[in-house]
Amino acid sequence: MNRSHQLAEDKLPVAREEHSHSHDTSNVGDRFGDSSTHPHVHSEESLRSIVNRLSRIEGHIRGVKTMVQESRPCPEVLVQIAAVRGALDRVARMILDAHLSECITRAAQEGNIEVEMAELKAALDRFLP
């Protein structure tokens, strides 16, 4: 898919349906479980944008693998790995932004901000070096 087609696809109208998943907060910071304690809802637009970015990263990683299989020069491979790292960091920022604007805001309105903040802190402890 060429870049202009991808950009056009990214701007298609999106239904305002919501997707939800849940967290088990019984061991916040130790694991992220599947049992439900509170809903975790994201807009379809947000999910689509993140999944599209991850799909592009997946393709980029396959390209790096091919470069290694073709014995391309190590500096070229390292530059592409750096590009993948940057792309993953941008996706992480998108996820954090969505979490802050959608999930934290909703938790504050519903009165369970402490649980949501504990989960975020635990995730950031694992995410940040």
Q: Mean per-residue pLDDT for 43-47?
A: 88
Paired tokens of 46: 């947000």
Quote the pTM value. 0.65
The pLDDT score that the predictor gives to residue 39 is 60
Residue 22, SS3 per DSSP: strand
Q: What is the pLDDT of residues 48-103, one digit of tens each?
A: 999 999 999 999 999 999 999 999 999 999 999 999 999 999 999 999 999 998 88
Residue where the block lists tokens 């969505």 = 98
The pLDDT score that the predictor gives to residue 56 is 97
The pLDDT score that the predictor gives to residue 40 is 67
Query: Is residue 109 packed enough to be buried (19+ CB in 10 Å), middle (13-18) or exposed (0-12)?
Result: exposed
d(CA 55, CA 61): 10
Helices (H), 71-112: 74-98, 105-110
The per-residue pLDDT of the chain, averaged, comes to 78
